[in-house]
Amino acid sequence: MNRGKIAQAHVGRASAIWHGEKVLRVAGARLLDDRDRGGVRAALEADPVAACMVAARVEVAGLDPWRLGGEIWAVGSRLDGLCFSGANLVPLRGQRSALRSFADRARRQGRSCSSLVGRAELVLPLWNELAPMWAPAREVRPDQPLMVLAGPPAVTPDPAVRAVRPGELDRYLPAAIAMFTEEVGIDPRGSDGGAGYRSRVGELVSVGRAFARFEDGEVVFKAEIGALSSQVGQIQGVWVHPERRGRGLGTAGTAAVAERLAALGRVSSLYVNGYNHVARAVYERIGFTQIGSFATVLF
């Protein structure tokens, strides 16, 4: 599927997710394995932007839970419902009956995820099922525009933005921590002194998916390609140093990352909090358009 077709495929996608008003009879969510890999790949490719986070994992690791870092659950013999359960709980498709089955399995398993995230029309009904057992959530973000850029950016990219080198991790890490704390509201270093977060950021640096503009050895802009599937790259962690905001660094810097993805033959995607009007305006100037809405429940 080319980039233009991916963007067009999302017109009317929200109504298609529910497969009309027909109610499926389901026996419960079941765990998939590599025998189901072809069907799962096809289902993820039908919604490549919203499913990018999961598709990127499945393409590399298949469905083996140990390699995947989570489980893929399904409802229906034709995979009418799909959900990823790992560090995040990500509903991918399904009617309300399928979402109830996912909620039942999640309740039996117990909450081990740090967030529930995905298309709002799936996440919010699933959260309604889970809330009586899992509440209170730390925060619910019900409106996060899902945006896509199917081509080169409409503004000039910042030529000073480049991939962070492995030897620069210690200079990059404070900016990553500041971004996470500002965006999510908690310090990502947690109880292990930051070893786990450092490892996750270091992995993105090692594979060339962390980008920054350095000035006098300090990061003034950063962003990452958090997930990279065969069709889509999801941009995350966009941040500008507080003293340098309002000067266009975020616009030109994000455009540089989108340009890199276009050169790789990938569509650029991201999602943003609906109340962040400044960021939304920046992404629209770059050429991003909204094709749906995500929602996130943070624990």
CA distance 49 to 234: 8
**Through-space distance between the first and last CA atoms of the chain, rounded to whole angstroms:** 36
Question: H-helix or E-strand containing 93?
Answer: strand 88-93
Q: At what angle do helices 169-184 and 195-206 cross, to 10 degrees?
A: 120
pLDDT tens string 189-205? 987 888 999 999 999 99
- φ, ψ of residue 297 to 5 degrees: the values are -110, 120
Indicate if the alpha-carbon torsion angle 101, 118, 53, 59 is positive or negative.
positive
pLDDT tens string 123-143? 999 999 999 999 899 999 999
CA distances from 208 to 46, 99, 224, 262, 277 (A): 28, 36, 9, 15, 30
pLDDT tens string 75-127? 998 999 999 999 999 999 999 999 999 999 999 999 999 999 999 999 999 99
pLDDT tens string 221-242? 999 999 999 999 999 999 999 9
Give the Cβ contact number of residue 228 at 10 Å. Answer: 19
pTM of the complete model beyond 0.85: yes
